[in-house]
């Protein structure tokens, strides 16, 4: 494999007119990928009009420029479209335009058809590709974007390949910029979660497959987590199994890079409270599905669970549980306590304004939050959205006023972790 690019088969069929000028941009834009070329063409360039000169093609020049895995050059003088159609379809004839002109487009499709047979034979010999690009030798490529490769084969995306969204973060985008940064930043595990935009099992599976292939082309050592939480898209045990079956089939040996699958046993967060209803049977069934595929099971939104609620999940053979906002909430609480204990009204108001303007609280708080008395509403927004704005200059400035605050935060988080471990170990 040449570098870390995806494995791509480039299939070119048709006459080689002007290929000397067209092959350079094609190879340039695909230079970051591991490409094999497959070509089926004619032995001369001929026809009507100024772009045809009836010259013989130079086989060695094609080999020098493309280094093709398969090169099939057919004799044009032996070509008869009527005979080809008659042989294939039993007496049919070439198409004639309504104005009476003879339309012999069949030769174009014959080379495409012949190339597909040759490519299929090559694949059956054990060769595999992440993507297949089909084009013509005389088409000059003016630009290939990474999302174009990502979208190949995604039936739900064929209308407009710019509409591939992860729908996470502060702006709606195709998700590739973030994924690429993650792949190059040393992450061991990446959660692939396109479910917010793609709600059907088939579409979510297709995009998940393409995202994993994309990431794998950048860093093939990364492991993945797949699936989503019920708050984004609830699925049944049967749908969960179908989703993993599609991934298993379409990823081939890359499926082994998946480590976790997200099960839905009954968690839901509103504000700083877990209001989910735990369903032990559902949890056990989904954990069992994970084991069918040799995957570890993980549940999201495990925050704010007390009184043995985490223990019950691990008793169902759950392998892992996500806890994140709760630790952010603990850090926020420590900062707020420090501000209040010091009667630091200026910092309190700046902290609130930063949280409110972030809009990160909207997802977690009930719709009627505006009806709550102002001081309670402010505190709810602070406690819910505080951890989203830790990296702002405002919050860094507030923390710098209290030199020992990080030690207090660390102690509070360690205390909660120990509490959780005492429950499940």
pLDDT tens across 243-282, in order?
999 999 999 999 999 999 999 999 988 877 888 899 999 9
Residue 83 in domain: yes
Residue 156 in domain: no
Of 34-48, 114-128, 230-244, which has the strongest mean pLDDT? 230-244
Domain CATH for 195: 3.20.20.70
pLDDT at 141 over 80: no
Q: Which two tokens stand for residue 402?
A: 């209290």
Write down the H helix ranges in 229-324.
237-251, 280-292, 309-315
- Regarding whether 368 and 304 lie in a shared domain, the answer is no
Of 142-146, 153-157, 158-162, 204-208, which has the strongest mean pLDDT? 204-208
- Regarding whether 125 and 169 lie in a shared domain, the answer is no
Q: Measured on CA atoms in the order 215, 221, 226, 229, is the torsion positive or negative? A: negative
> For residue 409, what pLDDT is reported?
95
Q: What is the mean pLDDT of residues 294-301?
A: 96
> For residue 332, what pLDDT is reported?
94
Torsion over CA of 334, 338, 341 and 343, rounded to 10 degrees? -130
Give the count of domains, the chain: 3
Q: How confident is the model at residue 146 (pLDDT cuts 50, 70, 90)?
A: low
CB 162 within 8 A of CB 174: yes
What 3 state SS string does 9-32 have?
EEEEECCCCCHHHHHHHHHHHCCC
Q: How confident is the model at residue 307 (pLDDT cuts 50, 70, 90)?
A: confident
**Domain encompassing residue 171:** 165-319
- Regarding whether 202 and 85 lie in a shared domain, the answer is no
CA dist 94 and 112 (Å) reads 17
- Regarding whether 301 and 256 lie in a shared domain, the answer is yes
Q: What is the mean pLDDT of residues 194-213?
A: 92
CA dist 412 and 330 (Å) reads 7
- Regarding whether 396 and 285 lie in a shared domain, the answer is no
Residue 158 in domain: no
Residue 157 in domain: no
> For residue 296, what pLDDT is reported?
97
Buried b (16+ CB within 10 A) or exposed e, 189-204: ebbbbbbebbeebebb
- The mean-pLDDT minimum among 13-22, 95-104, 116-125, 142-151 falls in 95-104
- Regarding whether 46 and 17 lie in a shared domain, the answer is yes
Long-range own/partner contacts, residues 171-179 (CB < 8 A, 24 or more apart): 174/147, 174/150, 175/211, 176/146, 176/147, 176/150, 176/214, 179/211, 179/214, 179/215
Give residue 167's region: left, alpha or beta (phi > 0; psi -120 to 50): left
- Regarding whether 114 and 27 lie in a shared domain, the answer is yes
Residue 149 in domain: no
Give DSSP secondary structure letters for 57-81. Answer: P-HHHHHHHH--SEEEEE-STT--H
- Regarding whether 289 and 358 lie in a shared domain, the answer is no
CA dist 171 and 121 (Å) reads 45
- Regarding whether 345 and 265 lie in a shared domain, the answer is no
pLDDT at 178 over 60: yes
Domain CATH for 40: 3.40.50
Single residue among 111, 144, 177 that ends a domain in this structure: 144
- Regarding whether 410 and 338 lie in a shared domain, the answer is yes
Measuring CA to CA, which residue among 340, 344, 287 is closest to residue 318?
Answer: 287
Measuring CA to CA, which residue among 197, 218, 198 is closest to residue 206?
Answer: 198
- Regarding whether 71 and 203 lie in a shared domain, the answer is no
Q: How large a percentage of the chain has pLDDT more than 70?
A: 81
Q: Is 234 exposed, middle or buried (0-12, 13-18, 19+ CB in 10 A)?
A: exposed
Can you tell me whether residue 314 is helix, strand or coil?
A: helix
> Higher model confidence: residue 3 or residue 318?
318
CA dist 317 and 307 (Å) reads 18
- The mean-pLDDT minimum among 102-111, 123-132, 227-236, 367-376 falls in 102-111
Q: What is the mean pLDDT of residues 320-332?
A: 91
CA dist 409 and 231 (Å) reads 29
Single residue among 285, 319, 353 that ends a domain in this structure: 319
Residue 153 in domain: no
Beta bridge partners of 133: 10
Q: Which two tokens stand for residue 299?
A: 């549940």
CA dist 175 and 164 (Å) reads 8
- Regarding whether 298 and 182 lie in a shared domain, the answer is yes
> For residue 20, what pLDDT is reported?
84
pLDDT at 166 over 50: no
Q: What is the mean pLDDT of residues 118-137?
A: 84
């Amino acid at each position: 494999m040449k570098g870390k690019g995806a494995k791509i088969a480039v299939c070119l069929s048709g006459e080689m007119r002007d290929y000397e000028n067209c092959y350079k941009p094609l190879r340039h834009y695909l230079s970051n990928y591991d490409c094999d070329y497959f070509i089926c063409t004619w032995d001369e360039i001929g026809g009507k009009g100024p772009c045809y000169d009836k010259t013989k093609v130079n086989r060695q020049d094609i080999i020098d420029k493309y280094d093709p895995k398969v090169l099939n050059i057919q004799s044009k003088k032996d070509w008869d479209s009527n005979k080809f159609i008659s042989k294939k379809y039993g007496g049919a004839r070439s198409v004639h335009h309504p104005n009476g002109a003879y339309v012999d487009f069949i030769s174009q499709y014959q080379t495409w058809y012949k190339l597909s047979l040759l490519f299929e034979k090559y694949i059956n010999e054990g060769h595999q590709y992440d993507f297949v690009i089909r084009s013509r030798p005389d088409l000059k490529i003016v630009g290939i974007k990474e999302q174009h490769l990502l979208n190949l084969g995604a039936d739900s995306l064929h209308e407009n390949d710019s509409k591939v969204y992860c729908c996470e973060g502060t702006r709606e985008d195709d998700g590739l910029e973030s994924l690429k940064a993650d792949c190059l930043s040393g992450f061991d595990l990446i959660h692939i979660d396109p479910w917010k935009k793609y709600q059907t099992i088939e579409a979510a599976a297709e995009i998940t497959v393409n995202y994993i292939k994309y990431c794998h082309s950048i860093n093939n050592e990364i492991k993945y987590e797949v699936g989503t939480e019920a708050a984004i898209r609830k699925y049944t045990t049967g749908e969960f199994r179908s989703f993993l079956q599609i991934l298993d089939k379409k990823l081939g040996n890359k499926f082994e890079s998946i480590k976790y699958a997200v099960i839905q046993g009954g968690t839901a967060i509103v504000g700083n409270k877990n209001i989910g209803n735990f369903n032990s049977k559902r949890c056990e069934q989904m954990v069992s599905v994970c084991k069918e595929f040799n995957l570890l099971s993980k549940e999201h939104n495990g925050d704010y669970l007390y009184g043995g609620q985490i223990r019950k999940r691990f008793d169902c053979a759950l392998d892992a549980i996500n806890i994140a906002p709760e630790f952010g909430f603990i850090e926020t609480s420590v900062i707020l306590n420090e501000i209040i204990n010091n009667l630091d009204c200026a910092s309190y108001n700046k902290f609130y304004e930063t949280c409110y303007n972030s809009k990160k609280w909207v997802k977690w708080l009930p719709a009627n939050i505006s009806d709550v008395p102002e001081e309670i509403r402010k505190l709810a927004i602070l406690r819910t959205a505080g951890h989203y704005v830790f990296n702002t200059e405002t919050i860094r400035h507030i923390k710098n006023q209290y030199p020992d605050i990080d030690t207090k935060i660390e102690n509070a988080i360690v205390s909660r972790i120990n509490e959780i471990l005492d429950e499940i170990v």
